[in-house]
Amino acid sequence: MDIVVNEDLQAYIDPLTAEEHEALERSLLAEGCRDALVLWGNVLVDGHNRYGICRKHGLPFQTVQNTRFQSIEDVHLWMIDQHLGRRSVSDFQRGVLALRKREIVAKRRTETPAAPREAALASPAELPAAGGSPPPERLDTREALAKAARVSSNQIVMIEKIRKQAAPEVVAAVKSGTISINAAAAVATLPAEEQVAAAAAGKDELKQAAKRAREARRKPRGEAATASQDTAEAAADSHDTLETLRQRVSILTAENRALREQVATLQQQLQARMGAVPESEDAASPF
């Protein structure tokens, strides 16, 4: 059988680094190709690096058919699950794979049962009989994605931001381990040309760019906090003014009450004095 290497499938998973490829080559030369290559019909699904090294050195290898694949989506889901379970895959790569899996699962759930599946990579005559694939688990929550990728929920959010907003140069930097997921997510919020320039300048500049991005996010929050504090202080001032006015009114009311009492007392005294005038004085009047 002539094995077909499909470029899209080969590129679907991030390639090995030069060091990883050299280590795999040394292992195959020393121990041989112990794991069988996985095929879908005559299309190579898993083992592209081993296949290339074995052909280069003339090493023997075995193949096995996966009869459960019904569509290219089945192949993609299987490839994703295989790599999610490998320790050598970085946190960022696992997060990206989990997000890809979510997209496939969501697409499948929107399809009607009668909707046709995607065309196969190889011709039907070259494919084995389909055995069916179990439905994948739901990945419609952040927690489910984090569990599938074996990362934290916050990391999933950052990885999704990097995937959507980061320039390719920044993505390459986080894939290579030049910067962390956290730093890459911060840099991804900057304009594209600034991201590219920072990536071109190297690790230190990327870290500085991440710092600038974080500070830019904190500034509006600081202004908002200041505005909130000003509002609170203004409210406090208004409250103090109101209390002062209330106290002033209370004092004036008390003073008014005291003045009324004084007036009433004076009136009573005046009436008392007027009532005490002798009648003889009236009789003695010449008028």
- Residue 9 maps to a domain: no
CB 38 within 8 A of CB 45: yes
* Domain contains 21: no
Residue 96 domain-assigned (yes or no): no
**Under 8 Å between Cβ of 68 and 39:** no
Does a structural domain hold residue 174? yes
Cβ(72)–Cβ(121) below 8 Å = yes
Would 187 be classed as within a structural domain?
yes
pLDDT string in tens for the chain (287-residue length): 799 999 999 999 888 889 999 999 999 999 999 999 999 999 999 999 999 999 999 999 999 999 999 999 999 999 999 999 888 889 999 999 999 999 999 888 887 554 444 444 544 434 444 445 555 667 878 899 999 999 999 999 999 999 999 999 999 999 989 999 999 999 999 999 999 999 999 999 999 999 999 998 886 554 555 455 445 444 544 444 454 455 556 566 766 777 788 788 888 888 887 776 554 444 444 44
Are the C-beta atoms of residues 59 and 33 closer than 8 Å to each other? yes
Give strand pairing partners of 265: none
The owner of tokens 């299987």 is 78
Q: Which two tokens stand for residue 65?
A: 């058919």
| Alpha carbons 264 and 74: distance in angstroms, whole number | 102
Residue 64 φ/ψ, nearest 5 degrees: -140, 140
CA distance 67 to 114: 22
Residue 215 lies in a domain: yes
pLDDT digits (tens, 9 = 90+) for 203-259: 999 999 999 999 988 865 545 554 554 454 445 444 444 544 555 565 667 667 777
Complete DSSP assignment for 241-279:
HHHHHHHHHHHHHHHHHHHHHHHHHHHHHHHHHHHT--H
* Owning domain of residue 223: 166-251
- The pLDDT, as a whole number, for residue 108 is 85
Helix spans in 63-202 (H): 72-84, 91-110, 142-149, 153-165, 168-176, 181-187, 192-201
Q: Answer for the pair 92, 175: CB distance below 8 angstroms, yes or no.
A: yes
Give the type of residue at 140.
Answer: D
Domain count for the chain: 1
The verdict on residue 87 lying in a domain is no
Distances (CA, A) of 139 to 74, 105, 106: 16, 7, 8
The burial class, CB within 10 Å (0-12 / 13-18 / 19+), for 27 is middle
- Residue 265 within a domain: no
